[in-house]
C-alpha cells in the first residue's frame, strides 16, 4: 500500500507539474500576443502620425507654390510695364516730331503780333522748340553770371538756373491754363506750353545782348521792343481764342504782366538772389585768418613800468 500510494502521489505530482507547465506556456503565449498587439497599435499610431505629417507637408507645399505663383505674376506685370514704357514714348513723339525749318519759322512768328483776332489763331502743338528755348535761356543765365561781377564760389549754378527757367515755363503755363479755363478760352495745356515757350525767344535775345553790353538804357530799349513784341504776339493769340471783354482783359493782362516782369527779374534781381542763396548756404566769403601784431595799451605799459621799479628797489 505504501508503494501504491507513492505511485499515486508521483502521478498526481506529474499531473500537477504538467498543468503548471501548460499554464506558464499559456501565460507566455498571452504575453507575446499582448506585445504583438501593442506593437501593432504603436505601428498604427506611427502610420497615422506619418500621414498627418505628410498632410502638413503637402499643405505647406501648396502654399509655397501659390506664393511662388503670385510672385511670378507680380514680376511678370512689372516687366510688362517696363517694356510697355517704350510703347508709351510713342505718345510723346508727335510733340517733338518737327523739322528745323518749321522751328525757325515759328521763332520768327513769335516776334510778329497777329493782326486778325476775329477768329482763333493757330498755335503750334509741339514742344521741341519751347524746350530748346528754355535750355538756351538757362545757358544765357549762366553766361551772365560769369560775365557779371557776381562772385561764384563752390558749387555750380546749373540747378538754380534750371529751376528758375523751368519753374517759370511750367508754373506760369499751368496757372494761365487754369485762368483760361475759368475765362472760357479755347486753348489746351500743350498749346499754352508751346505759346509761352516760344514767347521766351524775346527774353533770350534781350538777355544775351544786354549781358555782353552793360548799358541800362539799351536794356530798356530791348525790353520794350523785343520783349514787347513777343508779349503782344501771345496776347493777340489769346484774345483771338477768348470771348468777352472782361475775360480778355483779365487773361491777357495777367500774361503780359508776368512775362514782362520776369524779364526785369532776370536782368536786375536774379544775380543778387542767387548770390544771397549762396551766402546763406555756404556762408559769407570771409578772408583767410592772419596773425596781426597787437599794440599794448598805455595802461598796461604803466603797470609794467611800476612793477619793474618796485622789483628794482626791493633788490
Quick: pLDDT tens for 130-171. Answer: 999 999 999 998 888 777 655 555 445 778 889 899 999 999
Would you say residue 228 lies in a domain? yes
Would you say residue 304 lies in a domain? no
Question: Any idea which of 40-49, 92-101, 157-166, 182-191 has the lowest mean pLDDT?
Answer: 40-49
C-alpha span between 228 and 110 (Å, rounded): 11
Whether residues 164 and 68 share a domain: the answer is no
| Cβ-contact 119, 93 below 8 angstroms | no
Whether residues 68 and 127 share a domain: the answer is no
pTM of the model: 0.61
Max mean pLDDT among 33-47, 51-65, 206-220 falls in 206-220
Whether residues 77 and 179 share a domain: the answer is no
Would you say residue 73 lies in a domain? yes
Would you say residue 20 lies in a domain? no
Q: In this predicted structure, what is the pLDDT of residue 81?
A: 67
φ/ψ of 99, rounded to 5, equals -85, 150
Q: Is 117 helix (H, G, I), strand (E, B) or coil?
A: coil
Residue 253 has pLDDT above 90, yes or no: yes
Max mean pLDDT among 34-38, 119-123, 143-147, 232-236 falls in 232-236
Whether residues 209 and 80 share a domain: the answer is no
Residues 6+ apart with CB under 8 A from 64: none
Whether residues 175 and 88 share a domain: the answer is no
Question: Any idea which of 9-18, 46-55, 201-210 has the lowest mean pLDDT?
Answer: 9-18
- What's the average model confidence in pLDDT over 70-95? 71
Number of compact structural domains in the chain: 2
Whether residues 68 and 210 share a domain: the answer is no
Q: In this predicted structure, what is the pLDDT of residue 73?
A: 80
Range of the domain at 75: 63-97
Residue 177 confidence class, pLDDT cut points 50, 70, 90: very high
Whether residues 130 and 224 share a domain: the answer is yes
Whether residues 90 and 138 share a domain: the answer is no
Could you give the residue ranges of the DSSP H alpha helices within 116-240? Answer: 128-147, 158-182, 189-199, 201-212, 216-222, 228-240
Whether residues 271 and 160 share a domain: the answer is yes
Would you say residue 58 lies in a domain? no
Question: For the chain, what is the total number of helices (H) and then of strands (E)?
Answer: 11, 0
Whether residues 171 and 87 share a domain: the answer is no
Residues comprising the chain, all counted: 315
Would you say residue 123 lies in a domain? yes
Q: Is 70 helix (H, G, I), strand (E, B) or coil?
A: helix
Would you say residue 293 lies in a domain? no
Residue 70 has pLDDT above 70, yes or no: yes
Whether residues 127 and 93 share a domain: the answer is no
- What's the average model confidence in pLDDT over 22-49? 62
Q: Average pLDDT, whole number, for the chain?
A: 75
Q: In this predicted structure, what is the pLDDT of residue 315?
A: 53
Q: Higher pLDDT residue, 255 or 40?
A: 255
Amino acid at each position: 500500500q505504501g508503494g501504491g500510494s507513492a505511485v499515486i502521489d508521483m502521478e498526481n505530482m506529474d499531473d500537477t507539474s504538467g498543468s503548471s507547465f501548460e499554464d506558464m506556456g499559456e501565460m507566455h503565449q498571452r504575453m507575446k500576443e499582448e506585445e504583438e498587439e501593442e506593437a501593432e497599435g504603436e505601428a498604427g499610431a506611427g502610420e497615422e502620425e506619418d500621414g498627418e505629417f505628410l498632410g502638413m507637408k503637402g499643405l505647406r507645399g501648396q502654399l509655397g507654390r501659390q506664393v511662388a505663383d503670385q510672385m511670378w505674376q507680380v514680376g511678370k506685370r512689372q516687366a510688362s510695364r517696363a517694356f510697355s514704357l517704350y510703347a508709351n514714348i510713342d505718345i510723346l513723339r508727335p510733340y517733338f516730331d518737327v523739322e528745323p525749318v518749321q522751328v525757325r519759322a515759328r521763332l520768327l512768328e513769335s516776334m510778329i503780333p497777329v493782326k486778325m483776332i476775329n477768329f482763333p489763331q493757330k498755335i503750334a502743338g509741339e514742344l521741341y522748340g519751347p524746350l530748346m528755348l528754355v535750355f538756351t535761356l538757362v545757358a544765357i543765365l549762366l553766361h551772365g553770371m560769369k560775365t557779371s561781377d557776381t562772385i561764384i564760389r563752390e558749387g555750380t549754378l546749373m540747378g538754380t538756373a534750371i529751376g528758375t527757367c523751368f519753374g517759370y515755363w511750367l508754373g506760369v503755363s499751368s496757372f494761365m491754363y487754369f485762368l483760361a479755363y475759368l475765362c472760357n478760352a479755347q486753348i489746351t495745356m500743350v498749346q499754352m506750353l508751346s505759346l509761352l515757350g516760344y514767347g521766351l525767344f524775346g527774353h533770350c535775345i534781350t538777355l544775351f545782348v544786354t549781358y555782353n553790353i552793360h548799358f541800362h538804357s539799351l536794356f530798356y530799349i530791348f525790353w520794350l521792343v523785343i520783349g514787347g513784341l513777343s508779349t503782344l504776339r501771345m496776347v493777340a493769340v489769346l484774345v483771338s481764342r477768348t470771348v468777352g471783354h472782361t475775360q480778355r482783359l483779365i487773361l491777357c493782362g495777367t500774361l503780359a504782366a508776368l512775362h514782362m516782369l520776369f524779364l526785369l527779374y532776370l536782368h536786375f534781381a536774379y544775380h543778387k538772389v542767387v548770390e544771397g542763396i549762396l551766402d546763406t548756404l555756404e556762408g559769407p566769403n570771409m578772408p583767410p585768418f592772419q596773425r596781426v601784431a597787437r599794440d599794448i595799451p598805455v595802461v598796461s605799459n604803466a603797470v609794467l613800468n611800476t612793477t619793474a621799479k618796485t622789483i628794482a628797489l626791493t633788490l
